[in-house]
Amino acid sequence: MMKKAVMQFTACCLAIGISVSSLGAVAFADNGMTLAGLSEKSTVVTGSSTLAGLSETGSVATSGGAGSAAATADESTDDSTDSTDSTGSTGSTDLTESVTTVSSSAESETAQTETETETEAEAVYDTSMSGELAFAQCENYINVRSDASTDGEVVGKIYNNNSVTILGQLGDWYEVQSGNVTGYVKAEYFATGEEADTIAETVAYNVATVNAEGLWVHTDASEDSETIGMVYSSDQLEVVAYEGDWMKVVLSDGTYGYVNAWYVDYDTYYSTGETLEEESERLDEEWLEYLAESEAEQQRLDEQWLAYLAEQEAAAAAETEAATTPETASETTVTADTSSSTSLSEAEAAVDEAYQTYLEAQEAADAATQQADEQLVYDTYDEAVDAYQDYLNAVAVADELKYSSTTTDTTTTTDTTTATDTTTTTDTTAATDTTTTTDTTTDTTTTTTTETETTTTEAAQTEAAQTETEATTTSTSSSSTLGQSIANYAVQFVGNPYVYGGTSLTDGADCSGFTQSVFAHFGISISRTAASQASGGTSVSLSDIQAGDLLFYSSGGSISHVALYIGNGQIVHASTSSTGIIISSYNYRTPVCARRYWS
């Protein structure tokens, strides 16, 4: 019985991973300890030590592995093969499963704790930059998202050089507020610190708010200077310069003056981003403005066409009258007139055709606005602009031919008539010539002398006038050529996009960003905003504008738009996000002032 009991106990130990040395002595002691699968009074020890895997209280430790149990089983095979109690084996299996379950549970809990610790470390929200000003640096715009992830919903947009206030940082994302939009943006697209300070100086918008009931505006920074108007409490004026105790400001009509700085509050603003709802409203307003511009342009073209038709009618009447007058010109002159007339007719026909093409292109552009295809709107508008330019070119050719043929006809007829008169009736010529003298009996020789003297005097006067004209032209040619070069450079970007806050001539710019970048190409530095550009350079009367001059338009009492005059009553400007950079009539809206930076 004793041997059988020992063998049963050994089998149990092997089942639960307890190694029993074949050389160790096995003893039983009645100490009241309990082990699963054994009687309440059974305890196993090897030598004088408690077996590994059993605590003093009878619980099972989990330090023993399956590999160890397997090795022990191999080593103890002979001792356990005689007989095995089925009840003891089942109990050992239950204990093994219990040990495995406890071990797995502990490992799972440890892994979960580590994961939670890592997540907490990744989600640290840093507020050390809270309140700091930063500026977007991008080609077009940056999306503002609801979460610090590219999977977050887009809630707004921030354009190049727009300002943001940093609320905090989460990883490589900033939480920012810009205008009415709040959300997360990628930190890599924003300038901070000294770089942000430098940008702030160029994009700042300074405003003076009047805090007196009434405040005089002076022509100069002095109380003794002439007053040009008065502003009132709560009026806001854009400040273009701060000179000691005086501020140079822009009035509602676009003129400039000085106010005493002691009677105004001074604030600095920066352009900010917009919510998707604000963007939608802005695009709607720009579209309505575009439609108004198109209508005004169409009206101007109609008026120009009516004026052209009136000129054509007047020219036809003149030709009819000339046909009823006896011809005195030579055969050579008549032949030249016929050739010129034929070329002019062809040019006028080309004008009619070009105008009809333009009308069809404009009609297609108008129809495109009723469809949902935004790209179609851009394409048809570009075609209309090209057609209109072709029309203007045709008109220019016709006008040049008309002018050239008129000049040739007058010169040839005068020369031929004079020669005929001189040859045919010497007496008549003499009488005519001597009407300018006091001696009516002057003979042919005297007449000839008088004519020679007169001709010589007129030639000298003509040469002197020509010399004076050439000198004047030379003195202004270099500057006017630069202005035209600026205009020619600017028009090559027609069709490129309008981007609010942008300064790229190819990827997008707003009105003042467009003019700033165009002038920068010629080494001319001008300020960033339309209002501040309107205070620089040299003032030019609207009746004396030349290609390369800047024209300014007001809205709500302040400068709101700038365009570059390119000559022939036209401007090139970054108009709206719907139209991009386009060519328009300079008076599509009423300009309030003009400035020249290139002379």
Known catalytic residues are: 511, 561, 573
DSSP assignments along 440-494, one per residue: TT--HHHHHHHHHHHHHHHHHHHHHHHHHHHHHHHHHHHHHHHHHHHHHHHHTTT
Write the CA distances from 490 to 261, 485, 537, 578, 580, integer angstroms: 39, 9, 18, 19, 13
Quote the Cα angle for 504-508-509, to 5°: 70
Phi/psi of residue 409, nearest 5 degrees: -60, -45
Cα–Cα distance between 177 and 144 in angstroms, integer? 10
Cα–Cα distance between 52 and 439 in angstroms, integer? 155
Give the strands of the sheet with 580-585, arranged side by side: 538-540, 593-596, 550-555, 558-567, 570-576, 580-585
Token pair listed for 416: 């031929």
Q: Please report, for the chain, how many H helices and E strands are present, in that order.
A: 12, 26
What DSSP state is assigned to residue 51? Answer: P
Write the CA distances from 532 to 260, 262, 559, integer angstroms: 19, 22, 9
Cα dihedral sign for 76, 81, 83, 89? positive
Contact yes or no for 294/380 (Cβ under 8 A): no
For residue 301, the Cα-to-chain-centroid distance in whole angstroms is: 30
Quote the Cα angle for 64-65-66, to 5°: 135
Cα–Cα distance between 132 and 193 in angstroms, integer? 8
Contact yes or no for 530/560 (Cβ under 8 A): yes
Cα–Cα distance between 491 and 486 in angstroms, integer? 9
Quote the Cα angle for 406-408-410, to 5°: 70
Contact yes or no for 108/115 (Cβ under 8 A): no
Contact yes or no for 310/195 (Cβ under 8 A): no
Q: Position 428: which residue type?
A: T
Cα separation of the two ends of the chain: 124
Token pair listed for 69: 């149990």
Phi/psi of residue 65, nearest 5 degrees: -105, 170
